[in-house]
Amino acid sequence: MNTTQKDNYISPDEYEVLQSKYDCKTEYADGEIWVSSSTASRDRVFKFNIYREYGLLDYNVVEQEGTVFQYTLKDGQYNAKAYSIDDEYLSSVFTDLKINLKDIF
């Protein structure tokens, strides 16, 4: 992928959402985060390829239904692992980080 053809930056999804594309609202103590299903292709293709190209070691896609897809970079390619709501997430970068997914879904 040619980096000159990409956007100038990538920002976290909560900053990319346009008001007209709101699909799901989640309440948090310090505010609300809106999630748009229209960004799924961008997360799974565009960002995936950019993050791989720039060597991001661990890329995670979190689904509202309780699934986490973890992509761990090894030898320039991502290895995929899926976690369900009953699993404990293990970070490949922060080896002490373990998250019981039942606690967040």
Q: Averaged in consecutive runs of 10 residues, what is the pLDDT profile of the chain (105 residues)? A: 51 48 46 58 85 90 88 94 96 92 90
* Confidence at residue 11, expressed as pLDDT on a 0 to 100 scale: 57
- What is the distance between the alpha carbons of residues 40 and 36, in angstroms, rounded to a whole number? 8
Give the pairing type, strands 31-35 and 77-83.
Answer: unpaired
* Confidence at residue 6, expressed as pLDDT on a 0 to 100 scale: 52
Segment (H or E) for 33: strand 31-35
* Confidence at residue 76, expressed as pLDDT on a 0 to 100 scale: 93
Burial of 5 (0-12, 13-18, 19+ CB in 10 A): exposed
Give the pairing type, strands 31-35 and 24-28.
Answer: antiparallel
* Confidence at residue 74, expressed as pLDDT on a 0 to 100 scale: 95
